[in-house]
Amino acid sequence: MKLPRSRRRAAALIVLVSALILAAPLFAAGNREGSLPRRLEIFSWWTAGGEAEGLAALFDIYRWKYPTIFLINATVAGGAGSNAKSVLATRMQGGNPPDSFQVHAGHELIDSWVAAGKMEPVTFIFRDNGWLNKFPRGLIDIISFKGEIYSVPLNIHRSNVLWYNRRIFTANGLVPPRSLDELDRVCQILARKGITPLALGDNGIWASVHLLESVLVGTMGPEKFKGLWTGETRWDGPEIRAALRSFARIMGYVNSDHAALSWDGAVQYVIDGKCAMTVMGDWAEGYFKAKGLTPNREYGWAPFPGTQGSFIMLSDSFGLPRGAPDRDAAVNWLTLAASREGQDAFNPKKGSIPSRTDCDRALYDEYQQSAMDSYRSETIIPSVTHGAAAAEGWLASIQDIMAGFVCDLNVDKASVSLAQAAARHVR
């Protein structure tokens, strides 16, 4: 007997609802196993040219490898992470970590989130992939705490680099200065010709600390500089005052709007010919290339005067927060960052060199190959400005002191304050 249409519809609805009820446990299990859309949030401060392009290259590989995972590029602008670190602290303390975040290798991570128990060790990534011998032992030591590795170093940067506009130098018969006295003479020549000698962009005070770091090494040498962070070198010694006096002289040659300018704005001043030189890490090289410039054609480089033979090092790395929303996706990200494929995709664009020792040298430009050679042969010095040499609290004290010093250039006041800060923080 044929049922009326209304009853047929009701019967079909009952069958459909019954099927959904029966399938519900399987459907829920499928969600638990990852059928819901997955997201990977990567937190960084890479927004400028070169660094943003390098990050995009890594993202492209990740999307190709894991096409079902939606990538969230959570960037916070501000050189050296000056703004990003505050945002990250709020999230970490509030129990809302990203899946992985950029952090300077060394004390910046270990003395903060590792010490607070908020990071997972990532030794297994190196061990399971057979990569422990692909990274220098000294670097493994920097990223380790109590026998465990806590971050993946994506790159190596050199901090103590003087970049210069080759057209300006050639037109004025100048060569890169090799000492602080030569730097002073070059600046005098340029200033007399109406050219601002040195570009500085310290709207984030870290850029002034970055400059002071190179001046300190150029004044006292690598071993005494390293001793500042271990207590072996006194902060009230004559070299500190000499370095502060040199810094004060240099400040007389920088652009008047330095406090309103960012680091990449200072590099742009060199590109535009508004200034002849700038002192910045070799992420500046990534910025030069992103603007279409070629090394040793439009721009040149040299170690900061007096620091020949010294390589002030920092490394951008990524860690694994406890409670990462998608731990498996984060582990895949960290594995990519540690791989030769990932490092060879990222570093040629960023201006840095790989932290691995087995990457393809042919992919890197003239500057980067010179940095690779220097890294292997020169004295390696951990950067305090970029988290490798000292705890964040000590760096914050130095930044506060420098914020005042760049305004009043009072050497006596700054030297006393730096010594007092060291007494509070040195171990």
SS (H, E, C) the chain: CCCCHHHHHHHHHHHHHHHHHHHHHHHHHHHHHHHCCEEEEEEECCCCCCHHHHHHHHHHHHHHHCCCEEEEEEECCCHHHCCHHHHHHHHHHCCCCCCEEEEECCHHHHHHHHCCCCEECCHHHHHHCCCHHHCCHHHHHHCEECCEECCEECCEEECCEEEEEHHHHHHCCCCCCCCHHHHHHHHHHHHHCCCEEEECCCCCCHHHHHHHHHHHHHHHCHHHHHHCCCCCCCCCCHHHHHHHHHHHHHHCCECCCHHHCCHHHHHHHHHHCCEEEEECCCHHHHHHHHCCCCECCCEEEEECCCCCCEEEEECEEECEECCCCCHHHHHHHHHHHHCHHHHHHHHHHHCCECCCCCCCHHHCCHHHHHHHHHHHHCEEEECCCCCCCCCHHHHHHHHHHHHHHHHHCCHHHHHHHHHHHHHHHCC
**What does the alpha-carbon distance between residue 148 and residue 390 come to, in Å, rounded to a whole number?**
19
Predicted local confidence at residue 373, as pLDDT: 94
- For the whole model, what pTM was predicted? 0.84
Name all domains of the chain by residue range, CATH numbers in brackets.
Answer: 38-157+314-379 (3.40.190.10), 159-313+384-425 (3.40.190.10)
Taking residue 277's Cβ as centre, other Cβ atoms within 10 Å add up to 29
> Cβ of 93: how many Cβ atoms within 10 Å?
12
Q: Which residues pair with 196 in a beta bridge?
A: 275
Cα separation, 391 vs 109, in Å, equals 9
Q: Are 281 and 386 in contact (CB under 8 A)?
A: yes
- How far is Cα 237 from Cα 111, in angstroms, rounded to an integer? 27
The rounded distance, in Å, linking the Cα atoms of 254 and 212 is: 14
What confidence score (pLDDT) does residue 101 get?
A: 98
CA–CA–CA angle 185, 307, 241 (5° rounding): 70
Q: What is the pLDDT of residue 21?
A: 33
Give the tokens for residue 5: 């249409």
Strand 196-199 to strand 275-279: parallel, antiparallel, or no bridges (unpaired)? parallel
> What does the pLDDT profile of the chain (427 residues) look like in tens digits?
444 444 444 444 433 333 333 333 333 333 344 456 899 999 999 998 899 999 999 999 999 999 999 999 999 998 778 899 999 999 999 999 999 999 999 999 999 999 999 999 999 999 999 999 999 888 999 899 999 999 999 999 999 999 999 999 999 999 999 999 999 999 999 999 999 999 999 999 999 999 999 999 999 999 999 999 999 999 999 999 999 999 999 999 999 999 999 999 999 999 999 999 999 999 999 999 999 999 999 999 999 999 999 999 999 999 999 999 999 999 999 999 999 999 999 999 998 999 999 999 999 999 999 999 998 889 989 999 999 999 889 999 999 999 999 999 999 999 999 999 999 998 6
CB neighbourhood size of 27 (10 A): 10
pLDDT at 82: 81
Q: How far is CA 123 from CA 88, 102, 110, 144, 331, in A?
A: 23, 17, 14, 9, 11
Structure tokens at 334: 């960290």
pLDDT of residue 376: 86
How many Å apart are CA 327 and CA 330, to the nearest integer?
5
Residue 418: per-residue pLDDT? 97
In sequence order, what are the beta bridge partners of 42?
Answer: 73, 100
- Is residue 104 within 8 A of residue 315, CB to CB? The reply is yes
In the prediction, which pLDDT does 35 show? 57
Tell me the C-alpha distance between 139 and 388, whole Å: 10
N-term to C-term CA, the chain:
93
CB atoms within 10 A of CB 272: 11
